[in-house]
Structure 1
Amino acid sequence: MREEILHKATELFLNLGFKSVTMDDLANEMGISKKTIYSHFENKTKLVEEATMNLFWSISDGIDQIIALKKNPIEELYEIKKFVMIRLKNEKASTLYQLRKYYPRLFETLKKREIEVMHECLIDNIRRGMEFGIYRKNLNVQFVARIYFSGAISLGDQDLFPVSKFTRIELEDYFLEYHLRGIVTPKGRKILNEIINSNQD
């Protein structure tokens, strides 16, 4: 039952937002009592924490599986983006923004975990791209990895990128293309253009 509650809560949080979903909503959705939920989760904050970290590790494992396929680094980033957007259900409720606003300590914990996990993946992606001759040889790998990560985090900031102006999918597409066009070689640009064109078909 604990896993079922966690699964349904995660789904509701992604679709409706952390603030909107109450324990009553969750109980009604599942056809169970609030008492049952509280027997597994001390309070809503604990439920949000577990749902968020559970989703994070699930996404992290999926990214590891994509990296293990050893695709070319440009294609790899597009596959990761696609996978993450599916897992986050295109972030209809701007969950990252809500997490930062209503659960700031949890947001900071999550950000630190993401830096630990994603930094290594980004470093590896950049280095392989340079070895393949599709990323420029003169890149400062540490800088590019950090600037990419900080940019990716900022996409969830609704003050900078309000949902009235951008959908989450548009933002992810624009950002990834912006990042790659700044670091690719002519050989890499050809691969990038082919991927972008195939995605528009």
Structure 2
Amino acid sequence: MSSATYSTTAGAELQHDLVRAGFYPQMVQDVLAEAMLDQPVVDHLLHLETHFDHTEVHRHITVMVRSEKVLFIVHVDDQQLDDHGKDVMAQVSVEMIGLSRIESVATSFVYHQPQHYSSSDPVRELTFGLSWDGTKRIDLAPASCGDPQCDADHGLNGTSQPEDLVLRVSAEADGQNAVDKAREFAVRLRLATIS
């Protein structure tokens, strides 16, 4: 592990949050240190999510770490390879995005009981999206001419949509503190991308 990466107060807070989340903290720290090449941590946001699929529990974590000029995104999924959960695999992906490449930092808020809204009301749910034109999802389907008797090949129709990063944080599932942290991170990231 690089000492420079975690040498700042923000780096120590990231280490603390990773350990507190308890989702392979040492592995995530080591992957980040290798990716960041001694750049110190300036800011971070960590989002841990658990979902259930029939009899299996799946967890994944997304960690966004900002250095002075780059945003690092680490995503870790784990998966059971046997029925007893003794053989587990973790898949880790890392992406580096120059802050100058970030085209959009989008936030969507949910307030409860808006008819009684006051300025001190907390945001109960936040959807946080980033776009840097890094990944596109292409959906294709066979084209048709509208004639039900036609069996000619009309090619394909499709759409291409940016699919960079979207996180949803809710007070009900993640706690109000997690929503507030995500909102504050989004504001700081927005300011970093325009400066």
More strand by share: 2
Q: Report the structure number with the largest CA radius of gyration.
A: 2
- Larger RCO (alpha carbons 8 Å, 6+ apart): 1
TM-score strictly above 0.5: no
- TM interval, shorter chain, is under 0.3
User: TM-score by structure 1 length?
Assistant: 0.25
